[in-house]
DNA sequence: TTCGGTGCAAAGATTTTGCATATAC
DNA sequence: GTATATGCAAAATCTTTGCACCGAA
């Protein structure tokens, strides 16, 4: 996953996409946030600079960025989806308070072997650990 | 995850729930299907025996079963959620044709250690590998 | 100038909720 | 008999789509 801003622009232009101000802003927001954002959160972050910006624009751009491999879509067990850029990592989700902690990517060789045995070419590995954080357990 | 039908009944009754015919049927459908079903699929499977059954009944029951730890909710990157019972396992999802393959549960000790280091008590580990199956790669 | 992108509004898809009635216990 | 569960309809939530206009290249 690329860390450099200019990379997205060349990838997209090479495919015939245009780099509009909204698209660049969405990309920057994702790239600099460090975390996982929902479409709604991206919209809020955009609203400063683009007062009339629309949610459908956010969704359409997320779809383009995802299709071109610039953004990952993650399901964290919530109702809405989350989007993120940056190095692959995993998530620890507390079922009590909803807190999400990032975990460094870990090797899961046996799963990858199994995938290969099924003739799969692996594109992405999503690991989410659900549980209860210490304060939610004590509060119980 | 319990394999025996009667277990659900005693768990639920002990908590003050009632074992209605619909609830029992939903539980049996999940227990015997072996796979992961959407709410809609459960509704279809119910329709034979319960012509007037409603989707909201399915959702309400899934919520009860999930809350009591009898059913797992899994996100497979689709729009809707899937529900399953039985031993924990992981999923291999083809982004080309949407096929889902079950993988035996694998040990991911490093992830569990990390979770412990963060003070988390792990309840469930969800691992989904996205990729492309052989025929979708060839068709490419 | 052209074709992809945006804003707006409306539709789709999935899940949740209020309420009167039915039913398990 | 009483409290929980169901069916129905309506709402809520999230995402997608059609269309006219805008703007990047």
pLDDT in tens, chain A (140 residues): 444 567 889 999 999 999 999 999 999 999 999 889 999 999 999 999 999 999 999 999 999 999 999 999 998 888 899 999 989 899 999 988 888 899 988 888 888 888 999 999 999 899 999 999 998 888 65
Residues with CB under 7 A from strand D: A 13, 18-21, 38-40, 55-56, 59-60, 63, 79-81; B 16-18, 20, 22-23, 50, 52-54, 56-57, 60-61, 64, 79
Query: Do residues B94 and A120 make contact, with C-beta atoms less than 8 angstroms apart?
Result: yes
Query: Do residues B61 and B71 make contact, with C-beta atoms less than 8 angstroms apart?
Result: no
How much is the pLDDT for B95?
87
How much is the pLDDT for A55?
98
Q: In degrees rounded to 5, what are phi and psi of residue A55?
A: -60, -35
Residue in this structure with the two tokens 């990309």, named with its chain if needed: A27
Collapsed DSSP state (helix, strand, coil) of residue A140:
coil
> What's the farthest any 2 CA atoms get from each other in chain B?
54
What's the pTM?
Answer: 0.90
Q: Which of chain D's bases lie under 7 Å from a protein CB? A: 3-10, 13-18, 23-25
Is there a contact between A126 and B131 if contact means CB atoms under 8 Å apart? no
Neighbours of B132 (CB within 10 A): 21
How much is the pLDDT for A2?
45
Distance from CA of A57 to the nearest CA of B (A): 19
Is there a contact between B108 and A112 if contact means CB atoms under 8 Å apart? no
Low-confidence ranges of chain B (pLDDT < 70): 1-5, 139-140
DSSP one-letter code for B37: B
DSSP one-letter code for B138: H
Distance CA(B25)–CA(A137), nearest Å, equals 34
Taking CA B47 as the corner, what is the angle to CA B42 and CA B48, rounded to the nearest 5 degrees? 120
Taking CA A132 as the corner, what is the angle to CA A128 and CA A138, rounded to the nearest 5 degrees? 165
């Amino acid at each position: 996953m690329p860390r450099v801003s200019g990379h997205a622009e060349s990838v997209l232009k090479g495919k015939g996409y245009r780099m509009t101000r909204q698209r660049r802003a969405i990309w920057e927001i994702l790239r600099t946030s460090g975390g996982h954002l929902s479409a709604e959160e991206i919209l809020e972050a955009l609203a400063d600079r683009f007062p009339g910006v629309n949610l459908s624009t956010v969704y359409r751009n997320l779809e383009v960025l995802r299709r071109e491999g610039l953004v990952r879509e993650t399901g964290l067990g919530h109702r809405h989806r989350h989007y993120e850029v940056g190095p692959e990592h995993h998530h620890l989700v507390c079922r009590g308070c909803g807190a999400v902690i990032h975990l460094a990517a870990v090797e899961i060789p046996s799963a990858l072997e199994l995938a290969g045995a099924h003739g799969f070419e692996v594109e992405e590995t999503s690991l989410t650990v659900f549980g209860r954080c210490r304060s939610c357990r004590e509060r119980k």
